[in-house]
Chain A
Amino acid sequence: MIYKKFFFKGFRSILSHDSPAIALGCCFIAIGALLKNLGFNIQESIFSTMLTYALPGSLVMAESLLVGASLLNIFLAVWFVNARLYPMTVSLFPLMMHKSQPKWKYYFSCHFIAVSAWLIMKSNYKKIPKNFRIDYWIGIGSATWSVAVLGTFIGFYISEYLNKDMLIGLAILNPIYFLCMMVGAAKTIQITLSVLLGIILGPVFYYFSPEWSILLGGVVGGTIAYLIGELNVS
């Protein structure tokens, strides 16, 4: 089963002084308020965060519902927006794969892949023995997921007391937090170039194809950064 020592170590990682829990919680407060304004009840709002647990995807779903989009449209729009989770998973899970661990842990815990948990794991995995990394990851994921659910719950009930300025303040927290984390993580040529090119190319591709801009920016920028990094090493 899950090794408790590393599970709780991962769970406690969100309590550090510079943890993403506050920024993440604030963003889900905004999502909770948004869902209530869209006509969701509390069960549906919580259900949505528990099952989706991805901010951009939840936003896209909310906006699509607002304009009366079909289920197929919602599926495709969310899939495009959340396709970033695929390279994020492939760039994290090999660090945690160990033959002593059962596969169900990996299939179950892939649900926790999200920017905040991913960045915490990327910064800390070297401190954890490889055979227990998956337990540590499940701890991080459970903690960030709980914060998201709690944030949605709070946002739903305090939405009447939040004015527009407060919601704007809550909405900018997450992008700024993630931006700082990405800048902080840029310690090698490959990662630094990936971040820079992603920031430049994402908006550039938006002019050609808003739906594909994130994926195209990521694939083109990431590939250029990888090639330059490999050439530099060799």
Chain B
Amino acid sequence: MSANIINAILVTSLATFMSRFLGAISSEGIKENSKIFRWFNCLAYATLAALIARTIIFPAGILLDTSYLCRFVVVTFSIFIFFITRKNYVYPTVFSALSLAILNNFF
């Protein structure tokens, strides 16, 4: 089991580092005002947004044990709190953790 774990960690790090390293090499010829840079910027933001949406709507791990309704309510209220607290990041984040832990017992 232990050898399997070490191999899995090594394989995971290699797969992760590959994307980062290829990105660093590709960046060498790209100027920050170029069209290709703006395109990659859009790709990065859209990919992150897709990842976050997938994590919330189709979660893996322990979030699978919570209902869609709970997650939807928590996300909606967290965004609402984000705006009414003048874009403070801490309040909505703390609210989301507490409210989901509590709501999950009821729905």
Chain A residues within 8 Å of B, Cβ to Cβ: 17-18, 20, 22-23, 26, 30, 34, 39-41, 44, 47-48, 51-54, 56-65, 71, 74-76, 78-79, 82-95, 97, 106-107, 110-111, 113, 115, 118, 164-173, 175-186, 190-191, 193-203, 205-206, 210, 213-215, 217-223, 225-226, 229-230
Nearest CB of B to A119, in Å: 9
Q: A166 — which chain B residues lie within 8 A by C-beta?
A: 101
Interface of B is mostly: helix
A–B Cβ pairs within 8 angstroms, 22 of them: A54-B16, A56-B55, A57-B16, A61-B8, A61-B9, A65-B8, A75-B11, A78-B11, A86-B23, A88-B48, A91-B40, A94-B30, A173-B96, A198-B45, A202-B53, A203-B50, A203-B57, A217-B54, A218-B48, A218-B51, A230-B35, A230-B38
Q: How far does the alpha carbon of A40 sit from the alpha carbon of B60 in the complex, in Å?
A: 19
Q: When A and B form their complex, what is the total count of cross-chain residue pairs whose Cβ atoms lie within 8 Å? A: 318
Chain B residues within 8 Å of A, Cβ to Cβ: 1-2, 4-24, 26-28, 30-32, 35, 37-63, 65-66, 71, 74-75, 78-79, 82, 87-90, 92-93, 96-98, 100-102, 104-105
Known A-B contacts A85-B20, A180-B92, A206-B54; A194 and B75 likewise in contact (beta carbons under 8 Å): no
Task: Check B50 against A221 for contact (C-beta < 8 Å).
Answer: yes
Task: Check A202 against B51 for contact (C-beta < 8 Å).
Answer: yes
Task: Check B46 against A197 for contact (C-beta < 8 Å).
Answer: yes
Task: Check A93 against B45 for contact (C-beta < 8 Å).
Answer: no
Closest B residue by C-beta to A216: B50
Q: How far does the alpha carbon of A64 sit from the alpha carbon of B4 in the complex, in Å?
A: 12
Say which residue of A87, A171, A205 sits within 8 Å of B44 (CB atoms): A87
